[in-house]
Structure formats: C-alpha cells, structure tokens
Amino acid sequence: MDNSIYQNPLLSRYSSQEMLHIFSADTKFSTWRKLWIALAKAEKELGIDITDEQIQEMEENIYHIDYDKAAEYENEFRHDVMAHVHTFGDCAPKAKGIIHLGATSCYVGDNTDLIIFRDALLLIKKELINLMNELALFCKKFKSMPTLGFTHFQPAQLTTVGKRASLWLQDLLLDYEELEFVLRSFRMRGAKGTTGTQASFMALFENDEDKVKKVNESVCEQMGFDRDFKVTGQTYPRKFDTRIVNVLSSIGQSLHKFATDMRLLQNLKELEEPYGTHQIGSSAMAYKRNPMRAERICSLARGVMGNTIQPTMTASIQWFERTLDDSANRRISIPESFLATDAILRIAIDIVKGIDVNEKVIHKNIMAELPFMTTENILMEAVKKGGDRQELHEKIRQHSVAAAREVKKEGRPNDLLDRIVNDDAFGLTHDDIKKILNPEQYTGRAAHQVDEFIDSEITPVIQKNKDLLGLQVELRV
C-alpha cells in the first residue's frame, strides 16, 4: 500500500476480501476477455472465419493481463476498452484481428457490470442468510425474557428480549424478499451493437437475422444467463442500477435501525455488543465501553442510503440511446454501495453472535416502571377484597403522582408499592403485590409470536438456503 496517497477506507478497513475481489481489476478485465471469447465462439459456430487455434490462444491468456501496457494504451487512445483490446491482442497475437468483432464497448462494459453485480448480490445474500440465522437463534433463546418496552423511547408495556429482536429479523426478511426479486430479474445486455439495433452484427452475418439472434443467445448462455434485455440502447437500462442500489439501501435501513436500537440498549446497560479483552473505549476515559461496532454500521449504512440518489439521477438524464455522464459516477457509487453493505452485514453478524444480555439490569429496569404499569391490576385485586373502585382509583392516582415526584425530583427509588401496601384502603399485603408484579404476566403473546414467526416464515428461508450457512466473519479493525 502506498501510504503517500489517499486510500479508500472501504478497501483498507471495512470490506471483506471476497467482496473486494468481486470488484477487483482482475475480475473485471478477465470477464471482459471471457466475453470476447464467448463472442468469438458464437461467431465461429455461425460461420465466421475464426479458428480453434485463435480461441485457444485467447483462453490461455484470460488472466495474463499487463496492466502497465493497458495504461499506456489508454493514455494514447483515451479509451479503456480499446486499450484492453490491444493489450489482449498483444498476448494473443493470432487472435488479435478477431477480438471484439462486431461489438461495441458496452458489450464488455455493461455485460461485465451485470455479471459482477449479480455475483456481488449473491455474496450479499449469503451474508444476509447467515445474519438472519444468527438472529433467529437469538430470538428463540430470549423469546420469554421480559423486558421493558418503549414507545417514543418512553416506558411502555412489557415485551420480551426475543420479541424485540424479532422486529429486526422481520425487517431483514423484507430485505431478503426484495433481494430475491432483484436476483430473479437479472439478465444480460447481450450482443446488441452500438445503438442496440444489432446493425453491426447484421452486416457481419449478411442480414441473417437468425444468426444474429443466435449470437446473442449463445453469448448469454455461455456467461450463465437464460435471459437478456430484449431492447436496449447502447447500454442496458440504467433504471436497473436503481433497483440494485435500492435493495442495498433497504438492507442499510434495516441494519441502521438494528444498530441504533443496540446503541440505545447499551446506554441502558441491557444489551451490549461484543467487547475485546484489550479493546479501548476512549483514549481519555478508560472506563468507557462504546458501541463502536453498532456506530460503524450506522455510519456506513448512511452512506449506502445516501447513494440511492445517484442511480436515480443517472437513469433520469440518459439522452436517447446513451450519454457518457453515467460512467464515472457508476464506477464509484455502485461498487461503494456494495462494499459498504458487505461491511455492515458482517459487522451485524459479529454483533449478534456475541450480544451480552444483562438479565439483572433488564429486570431492575422493569421493576422501576412496573408498579406504574400494574396499577389497574392492583386496583382490581383491591376491589375483589371489598374496596371501592372509584375511591381506590383516586388514591392510586395520588400515590402515583407522589411516587413519580420522588423518582424524578429527589432521585429516590420508586416507592409506589410501599405506599399502596401501607394504605389500609387497599387491604393488600406485600405477598399480594409480589404476585401481581410478576413480569411474565405482562408480555402477552410475545413468546408465542416469536415461535410462530420464526417457524412459519424464517425457518423455511433458512432451510431453502442452508448451503449458504457457516460464514465466518472477522472484523479487520
């Protein structure tokens, strides 16, 4: 690494080697060469004068890429595709005259992008499935553990630790469904020519439409696609990039929400992300334990969500059959969206695998609020013992206001229950109150909802994709 110049932190700090390889120069330009070989094979099969020897020479040099020579050619031609045509021809001289025959630059450029984006989404899918599996295990394990629920970040009715986590999992399920749709909609640009009319191929095959169609079909099949965009300009529809980046943004939204919840819960000391033995939370405050993993997810996810504007603008301003103002933008915004999404998924897997659940703190926080939440149950129990409902309601209101004042203004513990027990009008003992204050009574169907959701909707997805399980993640920093 040359430390004297800027290095993209997605490369040096965050993204996985697998995703970095998918977007590497080696992957891109070797795919260009595979596409040129696929085209040559298709053209040879349909009668063009191309020899087996030429194709063999091309195949033997797929990965022999002289990047210095390509840079020299591009500096001369100001054209990246022609630079690599000549670079390929230099190492496969017998085939030099038939490389790129009948094609336009987007034949290699766009088709390679689609192949790379598909492969990158398949890696994203693998990471998403592994995250969903880990989160499902967490939900099941803690499905019955009561915890204080919040609305507006104010104490509300109880839920369970597993039920809250199932909300994160529900979001990821929606992302999975969207991702599957995008993968199903993938197709190649194919061999369409300069403005998408296949005119150059019509000239090459002397206006034999069947042969022109077969060239296109053969190339798609050789590159692993069973469908293509039937009509294109010079490029495939740039709206398809919007579809791709939108699903990455959707995952970013879900994990930003998950990570934000984790940050709030860590402040409450209820749930905490993993913490290394020698990890330093602050250079000044040695006691601090910051949620740095969750914060990193939020930071990277914001970048992915912000990137959604780029392909929408590009798609909206393409003139007629194409303009080149898409190129530089797409080289940056789309790969970086993938690299960041790859990073946040792996960080999320790392967090979920090592979440520290502080059960005693969770219980303490419940008991600080539960007396207020159970006043209706206390009221009903007191009425059963002969009390007057309306009179007791007013007394509970007064005791609640007084107890709240003690908590908020004096910083003292919630003494509402002591006030009620010491008020003879209620006729309740500490044992009576203790039975009423069992948190498990107030979580509704939370545990059963977790089981029903995971068994009916998550488990089938995991089973369908079980071959993707077992991903090992290791954070780089």
Neighbours of 218 (CB within 10 A): 19
- Rounded CA-CA distance 403/397 in Å is 10
Cα–Cα separations (whole angstroms), residue 326 to 235, 307, 329, 334: 10, 14, 6, 11
Q: State the DSSP string of 105-174.
A: HHHHHHHHHHHHHHHHHHHHHHHHHHHHHHHHHHHHHTTT-EEEEEETTEEEEEEEHHHHHHHHHHHHHH
Closest by CA to 96, choosing from 82, 111, 109, is 82
Closest by CA to 135, choosing from 452, 353, 321, is 353
Question: Which of 152, 283, 430, 456 is an active site residue?
Answer: 152
Question: Active-site residue 282, yes or no?
Answer: yes
Number of H helices, E strands in the chain: 21, 4
First to last CA, the chain: 17
Question: Active-site residue 4, yes or no?
Answer: no
Question: Which of 12, 185, 282, 327 is an active site residue?
Answer: 282
Q: State the DSSP string of 286-316.
A: TT----HHHHHHHHHHHHHHHTTHHHHHHHH
Residues taking part in catalysis: 152, 282
